[in-house]
Structure 1
Amino acid sequence: MSLVLPSLLWTLLGAAPTASDPLCAGRAPCQVVETLHGGKDARGQPLRVVRLDLGWFSSDDAPEEKGRKFGAGRRAKGSLVEDDCAASEWWLVSPDTSQLLLAVCNDGYGSAQKGEDVVKVKNGLFSHVQSGGDSQRWLHTRVWRLSPLERVREGHVNFLMGQDDVEDRTAWDFSTLQGSRFLGPETCQDGPFAPNKRTLPYLPRVPLDAAYVDEGWKRVGLGTCALQAKNVTLGKLKGARDASLKALLVAPGTLILEVRDNLWVGTGGKTWREEDHLELWLGAKSPEALTGCGKPEADERLVQWGISITTGLVFPGYGPPRGELGVERVELRGKSGELEGYRLKLTLPGRFAGIGIAYNDSDESGKPERTLATSPLKFSRPETLNIVRDVPRAEGTCVVRGQALEVVVAPPRLQGLEVAVLPSGPSPSVAHGR
Structure 2
Amino acid sequence: MQRLQRGEVLVLGMLLAAPVLAQEAKDVCGGRAGCEVQGTTRALKGHEVVELSLGKRDPQEGLECEQREWWLRRPDTSVVKLLDACNDGYGAAGLGEEDVTVGENLFRHERSGGSSWRWSSKVELQLVPLKMLSELNTSFHTASPESTETRFNYGTFEGRVVREVLDCKVSPDEADGDSATRTLEASVVPQVELPADFLKDGWKRTGLGQCSANGGAVLLGKPQGKDDARIRAVLGQGNVLFLEVVDDKWTGPSEKWLADDHVELWLFPESPEAADACGRNGKDPGLVQWGIRIADGKVFPAYGDPKPPLPVEVVREGNRARLQVKLPAGLDGLTAVYSDSDEGKKQELMVATSPVQFGRAATLSSVRILAPTVATCQVKGSELVPAPVELRPAPGEAVISL
TM-score (norm. length: structure 1): 0.72
The answer for unaligned runs of 5 or more in structure 1 is 1-19, 40-44, 65-81, 333-338, 426-434
Q: Secondary structure at the match of 2:319?
A: strand
Structure ID, larger Rg: 1
1:324, 1:29 → 2: CA distance? 59
- Residue aligning to 1:287: 272
Q: Indicate the RMSD between aligned Cα atoms, in angstroms.
A: 3.5
Amino acid at match of 2:192: V
Letter in 1 for 2:43: G
| Equivalent of residue 128 in structure 2, options 147, 159, 163 | 147
- Separation in structure 2 between the aligned mates of residue 400 and residue 29 of structure 1, nearest angstrom: 46
Percent identical: 36
Q: Please say if residues 68 and 86 of structure 2, whose CA atoms lie closer than 8 Å, have aligned partners that are also in contact.
A: yes
Question: Partners in 2 of 1:171 and 1:131 — Cα distance?
Answer: 16
User: Match of 1:246?
Assistant: 232
- Long gaps (5+) in structure 2: 1-23, 173-179
- Do structure 1's residue 398 and structure 2's residue 397 form an aligned pair? no
**Aligned position for 2:36:** 30
What is the alpha-carbon distance in structure 1 between the residues aligned to residue 208 and residue 309 of structure 2?
25
Which residue of the other structure, out of 84, 109, 120, is the alignment partner of 2:64? 84
Compute the displacement of 1:196 (Å). Answer: 3.3
Where does residue 86 of structure 2 map in the other structure?
A: 105
Aligned residues: 368
Whether 1:205 aligns to 2:191 is yes
Cα 1:195–1:313 shift into 2, 3 Å: farther
State yes or no: 1:156 paired with 2:142. Answer: no
Q: Cα–Cα, structure 1 residues 108 and 259, in superposed 2: closer, same or farther, change >3 Å? A: same
User: Displacement of 1:191 after TM fit?
Assistant: 6.0
Task: Output the CA distance in 1 between the equivalents of 2:279 and 2:28.
Answer: 60
Among 238, 259, 265, the residue aligned to 1:274 = 259
Q: How does 1:7-406 map to 2 (within 5 A)?
A: 22-23=26-27, 30-33=36-39, 35-39=40-44, 45-52=45-52, 54=53, 56-59=55-58, 83-97=63-77, 98-161=79-142, 165=145, 167-186=147-166, 196-208=182-194, 212-261=198-247, 263-294=248-279, 297=282, 300=285, 302-332=287-317, 339-348=318-327, 352-364=331-343, 366-406=345-385
| Pairwise CA distance, 1:157 | 1.7
Instruction: Give 2:10's aligned residue.
Output: none
Residues 56-76 of structure 1, C-alpha deviations (whole Å, 9 max, x = no match): 4153xx6x7xxxxxxxxxxxx
The answer to whether the 8 Å contact 2:165/2:183 transfers is: yes
Shift of 1:247: 0.8
Deviation at 1:227, TM superposition (A): 1.3
Distance 1:114-1:56 versus aligned 2 partners, 3 A rule: farther
Task: Report how far residue 106 of structure 1 moved.
Answer: 2.4
Deviation at 1:352, TM superposition (A): 4.9
Q: Match of 1:274, as an amino acid?
A: A
User: Judging changes above 3 Å, is the alpha-carbon distance between structure 1 residues 242 and 376 closer, same or farther for their aligned structure 2 residues?
Assistant: same
Query: Structure 2 counterpart of 1:229, which letter?
Result: G
Seen in structure 2, the aligned counterparts of structure 1 residues 120 and 240 have a Cα distance that, compared at 3 Å, is farther
Amino acid aligned to 1:22: K
CA shift for structure 1 position 142: 1.0
1:432 corresponds in structure 2 to none
CA drift at 1:374: 1.2
Q: Tell me the SS of whatever aligns to 2:102.
A: strand
Describe the shift of the 1:350–1:323 C-alpha distance in structure 2 as closer, same or farther (beyond 3 A). farther
| Corresponding residue number in structure 1 for 2:18 | none
Opposite residue 69 of structure 2, the aligned amino acid is E
